[in-house]
């Protein structure tokens, strides 16, 4: 249960102060033996625990997924495969799987989204990582504008979308090969750019290392870099920035 929901129920008189106190005093994690579920993470950080699905034994994954769903009313899993989707669906029929991003999730209905994040890719091959970033941000409550296939080999494609990108509170630049997109965007916008190197590219791309080094050595200001193929990490940070921008506008009365 979310903190806000607990407080709203206390205000409405459907939950006693004593019951609410028990909720806030509960153990910070649930011991499952093979996992310690961080049930209070959203209270501390504003984001619930997310499941990294790849490599988890089937029975552990199902149990973790079910428990987090029961606790939060929604759950997000990354790096899942179709077999894991079929496994979870037997227990939770409302689970949704995206084959491109490999995200497995159950979302609350009628979720409100705020602000705007622009998720851009250099090429079509970068879209799986970009979708992981975009869907992570959407799950956490952000509006996302997707701007795909605007790499520097055809700069006019990027320039045609520049106005949309410049309106965003944060930009996620996803690129493999030489990873130049982040630097170009960094020089064209006033918002933070989160660069995501991907493992897309030929031999000397070294499975994303070339793009990573390019992005780390960017001469453009305002560019930060996450790990290779880490769309989830980029979507998470972009959401934090988007929330801060919303809070700032609220304080200014905009």
Under DSSP, the state recorded for 110 is T
Q: What does R_g of the chain's alpha carbons equal in angstroms?
A: 20
All domains of the chain in start order, with CATH? 3-106 (no CATH), 114-250 (3.40.50.1970)
SS3 230: coil
Q: Which residue has the higher pLDDT, 103 or 24?
A: 103
pLDDT given for residue 205 in this prediction: 92
What mean pLDDT, rounded, does the chain reach? 90
First vs last C-alpha separation in the chain: 31
Distance, in Å, from the CA atom of 108 to the CA atom of 91, rounded to the nearest integer, reads: 17
Confidence of residue 27 (pLDDT cuts 50, 70, 90): low
| Structure confidence by residue, pLDDT tens digits, 160-197 | 999 999 999 999 999 999 999 999 999 999 999 999 99
pLDDT in tens, 202-227: 999 999 999 999 999 999 999 999 99
Which residue has tokens 């019951």? 19
| Predicted local distance difference test score (pLDDT) of residue 24 | 67
Nearest by Cα to 116 from 65, 167, 76, 81: 167
Tell me: pLDDT of 29 over 80: no
Q: How confident is the model at residue 109 (pLDDT cuts 50, 70, 90)?
A: confident
Report which of 211, 223, 201, 235 is spatially closest to residue 129, judged by C-alpha positions: 235
**What is the distance between the alpha carbons of residues 205 and 168, in angstroms, rounded to a whole number?**
30
The pTM of this model reads: 0.86
Structure tokens at 106: 């159950």
Task: Quote the strand ranges of the chain, DSSP E.
Answer: 30-31, 36-37, 51-52, 75-78, 96-98, 103-106, 114-121, 142-147, 170-175, 193-197, 223-225
Output the CA torsion 189→194→198→201 (10° steps). Answer: 30
Query: In this prediction, what percent of the chain has a pLDDT beyond 90?
Result: 70
Confidence grade of residue 120 (pLDDT, cut at 50, 70, 90): very high
Residue 118 near residue 172, CB atoms below 8 Å? yes
Best CA proximity match to 175, nearest among 203, 145, 205, 204: 205
CB 85 within 8 A of CB 95: yes
């Amino acid at each position: 249960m979310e903190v806000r929901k607990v407080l709203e129920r206390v205000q409405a008189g459907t939950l006693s102060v004593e019951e609410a106190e028990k909720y806030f005093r509960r153990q910070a994690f649930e011991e499952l033996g093979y996992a310690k579920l961080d049930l209070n993470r959203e209270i501390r950080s504003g984001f619930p625990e997310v499941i990294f699905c790849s490599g988890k034994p089937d029975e552990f994954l199902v149990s973790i997924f079910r428990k987090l769903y029961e606790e939060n009313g929604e759950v997000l899993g990354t790096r899942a495969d179709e077999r894991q989707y079929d496994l979870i669906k037997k227990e939770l029929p409302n689970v949704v799987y995206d084959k491109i991003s490999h995200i497995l999730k159950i979302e609350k209905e009628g979720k409100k989204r705020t602000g705007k994040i622009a998720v851009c890719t250099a090429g079509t091959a970068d879209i799986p990582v970009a979708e992981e970033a975009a869907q992570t941000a959407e799950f956490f409550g952000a509006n996302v504008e997707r701007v795909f296939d605007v790499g520097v080999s055809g700069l006019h494609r990027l320039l045609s979308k520049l106005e949309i990108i410049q309106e965003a509170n944060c930009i996620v630049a996803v690129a493999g090969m030489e990873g130049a997109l982040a630097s170009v965007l960094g020089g064209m916008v006033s918002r933070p750019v989160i660069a995501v190197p991907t493992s897309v590219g030929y031999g000397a791309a070294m499975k994303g290392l070339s793009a990573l080094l390019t992005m780390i050595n960017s001469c453009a200001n305002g560019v930060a870099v996450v790990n290779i193929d880490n769309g989830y990490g980029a979507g998470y940070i972009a959401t934090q920035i988007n929330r801060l921008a919303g809070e700032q506008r609220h304080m200014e009365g905009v």
